[in-house]
């Protein structure tokens, strides 16, 4: 294993080591903090009212179209980064190629805007 790949080993170990930072105080609090639970104390908070209805129900996602647009643009970003790294070598030709790609997606954004998909409905 070369010294560059050791960076990934370090990141993996760091990920495990970093677990200590949130876990240590949580475990410590188990011993230090009082435990006096009651039905009223553990009731879901609703400004003092008795909570009515289960929140785990199906509800309307207002941003359904936003989520689809997000997928489009995030994949675009994925294609953009490899191009960005080699931009200096590809120059004008690379710019033209990525320009066409982004241009198509930009037209899509303008279309979505025109259709009113970017308006937040309430």
Give residues 70-99 in contact with another protein (rule: CB under 8 A).
70, 73-74, 76-77, 80-81, 84-89, 91-92, 95, 99
- Mark residues 9-38: x for contact with another protein by CB under 8 A, - for none: xxx-xxx-xxxxxxx-xx-xxx-xxxxxx-
- How far apart are the C-alpha atoms of 105 and 108, rounded to whole Å? 5
Closest CA to 64 of 106, 114, 121, 105: 121
User: Contact at 8 Å (CB) between 85 and 45?
Assistant: no
CA distance 82 to 18: 30
Does 48 participate in binding another protein (rule CB under 8 A)? no
Find the binding residues for another protein in span 102-121 (CB under 8 A).
102, 106, 109, 113, 118-120
CB of 104: closest distance to another protein in angstroms? Answer: 12
């Amino acid at each position: 294993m070369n010294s560059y790949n050791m960076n990934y080993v370090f990141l993996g170990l760091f990920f495990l080591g970093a677990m200590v930072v949130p876990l240590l105080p949580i475990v410590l609090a188990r011993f230090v903090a009082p435990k006096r639970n009651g039905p009223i104390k553990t009731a879901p908070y609703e400004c003092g009212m008795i909570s009515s209805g289960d929140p785990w129900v199906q509800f309307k996602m207002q941003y359904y179209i936003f989520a689809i647009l997000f997928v489009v643009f995030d994949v675009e970003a994925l294609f953009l980064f490899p191009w960005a790294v080699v931009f200096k070598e590809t120059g004008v030709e690379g710019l033209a190629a990525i320009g066409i790609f982004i241009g198509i997606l930009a037209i899509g954004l303008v279309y979505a805007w025109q259709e009113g998909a970017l308006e937040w409905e309430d």
